[in-house]
C-alpha cells in the first residue's frame, strides 16, 4: 500500500508548467489527482498528461480544496496572492517564483544540496533561481569538501529564462535578420538574435541586477554559508534553451584538479562532459532536455594556483526549474514531509 | 610637403583585409601606392578602394620590392613565410597573425597602451589578438593609475573571430534550424547558431586554450607587467560580429568606481555606454563597425570590495584587428619610425 497525492500545477500553461506535467508523468509521481490551474486568460484549454487530456481551470478561491501539493510556476505576484491561500487550505506549495525565497522561515531547496532544509517547511518551500540551481549542483560537492572562499561567475543565459514567448521572439528576430529585415522586440528590451546583453532585470544601487543578486543571496542561503563571497555577471545570449556558466572558485587551501574531477564525476545531478582531445565540453544544445547539469573544463586557475575554474551547461527549464520542483515534491513524499494537515489519500 | 608611403596588404580578400582597405581610404592614410596581395587561389579578382578598382595579385618573391609598409593578415604560416622576405626587401611589416607576437625582439603594440614599443622594431611589429586588444584598451587606463593585481575574464566571442566564412556558416545554420533542418558545420567543430561552446583553439596541458593563453601572455607583454595574474574563459557565441567580455579586476588597494568611471570616460579608444535607468550597456550589435571599445556596467565587486567589474563590447575585425594595425602604421608615419631602409617617397 503506497500513498498517492492530489497535486495542482499553478501556471500549467507556461514553459515550466508544461515541463512539470511531462515530469510528473515520466517520473511516475504518485498522483491521486492532478489539477491544472492558470490565469483566467489561459484557462479553458486542455493539456496532455500521458494518455489523458486535462482541462486547464481558472485559479480561484476554491482551487486548493482537497489538494496536497501545489507546484506553483506563475510568477511572483500570482504566488504571493495564491500560495498563502493554498497553505491555508492545507496544501504544501513548492514555489518557483522569487516571492518567498529569501523569507527566513521558507526553506530554499536544491535536493542534491540541502534536502534536510525541506523538513522544516511551514507550508511553502521555495525553488531557487535557475542560474543558482545549476551552479549549486556543481559547486556544492566541492564546497562541502573544502569551503569556497570566493566565487566569480559569468553566465550565458538562454531566452527560455524569460519564458516560452521569449524563445519564439528570438526565433522571429533571427528570421527577420536573415531576411534583411528589422527584428521586432516585445519581451526583451533589445534584439537578442545574433546579439547579447547584460541580464535585463532591475539593477540595485551597487549596479548588480536582480539575477546576479539571486546568485549571491540564494547560494548563501542554500549552502548555509551567509558569509560566502560571490560575484556574478549575468548575460542574456541568443540560445533558445539551457544556460551556461563560467565559474571561478577560490578556496582557503589548494583544491587539486584531480580531486575536483573525481568528486564531480560522482556527484548527484552532475554529468562530467570533457574530451580534451576533441575540445568537447558542455554545450547548451546538449544540455537541453537533460536532467543533469553538464560540467567540464575543470582546470586549475593559473592566476590563483590551488583555485579552480570550470564550465557548465544545464537545462534552465528542467533542472533549473521544473525538475528541481518535482524533486522537492518527491523528497516530501519519500520523507513523509508533505504537510500533516494535508490529507494523504491511501490507495 | 608630406611624405606618403607604398603600402601592401597581404591577405587582402579576407574579413580583416577588406576592413584594412576601407580604413586606409576612410582615414586618408598617406599612400603613394597600394598593392593588394593574396594567395594564388584568391588572386585575380579586383577590390574597391575609394573610387578605384585594384587588382589582387598573387603574393610572390618580388611582391615586396618598393614597398614601405606591409599590413599582413593572412594567417600565421603565411606570415612566417613572407614577413621575413618583406623585411629583407626593406619594408616594415605590421602582422596580424600570432606568428611573431611573443618573440622578444618583436614589439606587440596597442597604440593606446604602448605606442613607444613600436620605436624599437626590427622590421616586424605584431598586432595582438583581438580579445586582448579590446580588453587592453579598457584595462590599461586603470592599470596605469593603480596596477591590476589579478584579472578574471570571461569572453563572449562572435563568429567573425574565425573569419568571414564563419559568419556565413552561423547564418546558414540559423536558417537550417529555423526551417527544422539539421545545421551543417565546416569551420566550427559544433553548430554555433542558437548554441555556444568554449573557444575551439588548441588546449595546453593545464586545460587553457590558445585564445585564453593569448589573453594571459600578450597582455603581460603589452602592459610590460610579466607578473600580472590573469585567467580567462573564452567562449564562442552565436553573434556575427563584435566580441564582448566580462572583466573582474583586483587591485593592491581599493579602486573607487567613481574614479574608474572618470578615467574610462576620458580614455582614448573607449566609449562609456551606461544608462542604469534603461539597463542599457554595451552590446555587440552596437559595437559592430565602431572604432571605440564600448565599456559599461562599471561597478564595485561585492565579493572583493575595492575591486572592480565591468563589461565591454568591441568590434573584433575593426579595433580587434584592422584598425589597430592601421593605427600602428599611422604611428610609424607620425613618429617617422617607418624603417629608414625603406624609401619614403616625397610628393
B22 annotated among ligand-binding-site residues: no
Instruction: Match 522569487 to its residue by C-alpha cell.
Output: A98
State the pLDDT at residue A178: 97
pLDDT reading at B128 higher than 50:
yes
Provide the b/e sequence for A304-340 (b: ≥16 CB within 10 Å). beebbbbbbbbbbbbbbbbbbbbbbbbbbbeeebbbe
- Say what the pLDDT of residue A8 is: 98
Minimum CA–CA partner of A228 in chain B: B303
Which triple of cell numbers denotes residue A17? 508548467
The pLDDT of B38-67, averaged and rounded, is 94
A139 and A272 fall within a common domain: yes
Q: Is the pLDDT of residue B347 over 70?
A: no
- How far apart, in whole angstroms, are the C-alpha atoms of residue B325 and residue B10? 12
Same domain, A234 and A209: yes
Residues B154 and B295 in one domain: yes
Chain A residues within 8 A of B279 when measuring between CB atoms: 189, 198, 200, 202-203, 209
Are residues B221 and B103 part of one domain?
A: no
Same domain, yes or no: B7 and B114: yes
B297 and chain A in contact, CB less than 8 A: yes
Q: Over range B282-302, report the average pLDDT.
A: 98
Q: Are the C-beta atoms of A198 and B280 separated by less than 8 Å?
A: no
What would the mean pLDDT of B219-241 be, rounded to a whole number? 97
C-alpha B347/C-alpha B278 separation (Å) is 53
What domain range includes position B19?
A: 3-128+321-346
Are B156 and B199 in a shared domain?
yes
CA A130 to CA A119: how far, in whole Å? Answer: 22
**A311/B195 CB distance under 8 A:** no
Rounded CA gap, B275 and A346, in Å? 58
Domain count along chain A:
2
**For residue B17, how many C-alpha atoms fall within 13 Å in the half-sphere facing its CB?**
26
Distance from CA of B160 to the nearest CA of A (A): 12
Q: What CA–CA distance (Å, rounded) separates A213 from B299?
A: 13
Residue B342 has pLDDT above 80, yes or no: no
- Phi/psi at A322 (nearest 5 deg)? -65, -45
Which of A194, A200, A207 comes nearest B297 by C-beta?
A: A207
Average pLDDT, chain B: 95
Q: Give me the pLDDT at residue A164, please.
A: 84
- Separation of alpha carbons B193 and B238, rounded Å: 5
> Which position has the higher pLDDT, A163 or B18?
B18
Q: What integer pLDDT is reported at residue B341 of this predicted model?
A: 45
Point out the residues of B that are catalytic. 130, 243
- One domain for residues B222 and B239: yes
φ, ψ (nearest 5 deg) of residue B230: -135, 135
Q: How many CA atoms lie within 13 A of B247 on its CB side?
A: 29
Nearest CA in chain A to B207: A299
Say if residue A158 is in the same domain as residue A237.
yes
Contacts of A319 by beta carbon, 8 Å cutoff, 6+ apart: A133, A134, A137, A269, A290, A291, A292, A293
Residues 146-175, chain A: which have Cβ within 8 Å of B? 150-152, 154, 156, 170-171, 174-175
CATH of the domain at B293: 3.30.360.10
CATH number at residue A336: 3.40.50.720
The CA distance from A174 to the nearest CA of chain B, in Å, is 7
Q: Over the stretch B188-197, which tens digit does the pLDDT of each residue have?
A: 999 999 999 9
Contacts of B3 (CB under 8 A, 6+ apart): B30, B333, B344, B345, B346, B347
As a whole number of angstroms, the distance between CA A242 and CA B46 comes to 45
What kind and span of H or E run contains B139?
helix B130-143
- For residues B208 and B291, membership in a common domain is answered with yes
Q: Residue B161: what pLDDT? A: 84
SS3 A44: coil
Cross-chain residue pair B299–A189, CB shorter than 8 Å: no
- How far is B339 from A74, CA to CA, in rounded Å? 69
Residue B132 C-alpha cell reads as 586582448
pLDDT in the model for residue A162:
86
B189 and B86 within one domain: no
Q: What's the mean pLDDT in B130-147?
A: 98
Is the minimum CB–CB distance between A303 and chain B shorter than 8 Å? yes
Task: Give B270's pLDDT tier (boundaries 50, 70, 90).
Answer: very high
Same domain, B184 and B256: yes
Query: pLDDT tens digits, chain A, 347 residues: what are they?
Result: 479 999 999 999 998 999 999 999 999 999 999 999 999 998 999 999 989 999 999 999 999 999 999 999 999 999 999 999 999 999 999 999 999 999 999 999 999 999 999 999 999 999 999 999 999 999 999 999 999 999 999 999 999 888 889 999 999 999 999 999 999 999 999 999 999 999 999 999 999 999 999 999 999 999 999 999 999 999 999 999 999 999 999 998 999 999 999 999 999 999 999 999 999 999 999 999 999 999 999 999 999 999 999 999 999 999 999 999 999 999 999 999 997 444 444 33
Looking at the fold, whether A312 and A326 belong to one and the same domain comes out as no
Which of A208, A303, A309 is the closest to B299 by Cβ?
Answer: A208
Q: Once rounded to an integer, what is the mean pLDDT over residues B227-232?
A: 97
Place of cell 568571414: B164
The C-alpha cell that represents A188 in the structure block? 526583451
Q: Is B277 annotated as a binding residue?
A: no
β-pair type (A3-10, A31-38): parallel
The pLDDT value recorded for residue B163 is 84
Mean pLDDT of B254-275: 98
Amino acid at each position: 500500500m503506497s500513498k498517492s497525492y492530489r497535486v495542482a500545477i499553478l501556471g500549467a500553461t507556461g514553459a515550466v508548467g508544461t515541463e512539470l506535467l511531462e515530469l510528473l508523468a515520466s517520473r511516475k509521481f504518485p498522483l491521486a489527482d492532478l489539477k491544472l490551474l492558470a490565469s483566467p486568460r489561459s484557462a479553458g484549454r486542455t493539456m496532455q498528461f500521458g494518455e489523458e487530456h486535462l482541462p486547464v481551470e481558472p485559479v480561484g478561491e476554491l482551487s486548493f480544496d482537497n489538494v496536497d501539493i501545489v507546484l506553483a510556476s506563475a510568477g511572483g505576484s500570482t504566488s504571493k496572492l495564491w500560495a498563502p491561500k493554498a497553505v491555508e487550505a492545507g496544501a504544501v506549495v513548492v514555489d518557483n517564483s522569487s516571492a518567498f525565497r529569501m523569507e527566513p522561515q521558507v526553506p530554499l531547496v536544491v535536493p542534491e544540496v540541502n534536502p534536510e532544509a525541506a523538513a522544516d517547511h511551514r507550508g511553502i518551500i521555495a525553488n531557487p533561481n535557475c542560474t543558482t540551481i545549476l551552479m549549486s549542483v556543481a559547486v556544492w560537492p566541492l564546497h562541502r569538501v573544502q569551503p569556497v572562499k570566493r566565487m566569480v561567475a559569468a553566465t550565458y543565459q538562454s531566452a527560455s529564462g524569460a519564458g516560452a514567448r521569449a524563445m519564439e521572439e528570438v526565433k522571429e528576430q533571427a528570421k527577420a535578420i536573415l531576411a534583411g529585415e528589422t527584428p521586432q522586440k516585445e519581451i526583451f528590451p533589445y534584439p537578442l538574435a545574433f546579439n547579447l546583453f547584460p541580464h535585463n532585470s532591475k539593477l540595485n544601487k551597487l549596479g548588480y541586477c536582480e539575477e546576479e543578486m539571486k546568485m549571491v543571496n540564494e547560494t548563501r542561503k542554500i549552502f548555509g554559508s551567509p558569509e560566502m563571497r560571490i560575484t556574478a555577471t549575468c548575460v542574456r545570449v541568443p540560445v533558445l534553451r539551457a544556460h551556461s556558466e563560467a565559474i571561478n572558485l577560490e578556496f582557503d587551501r589548494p583544491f587539486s584538479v584531480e580531486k575536483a574531477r573525481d568528486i564531480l564525476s560522482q556527484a548527484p545531478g552532475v554529468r562530467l562532459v570533457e574530451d580534451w582531445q576533441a575540445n568537447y565540453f558542455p554545450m547548451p544544445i546538449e544540455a537541453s532536455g537533460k536532467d543533469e547539469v553538464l560540467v567540464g573544463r575543470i582546470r586549475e586557475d593559473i592566476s590563483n594556483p590551488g583555485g579552480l575554474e570550470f564550465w557548465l551547461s544545464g537545462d534552465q527549464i528542467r533542472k533549473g526549474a521544473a525538475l528541481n520542483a518535482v524533486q522537492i515534491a518527491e523528497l516530501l513524499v519519500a520523507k513523509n514531509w508533505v504537510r500533516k494537515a494535508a490529507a494523504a489519500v491511501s490507495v
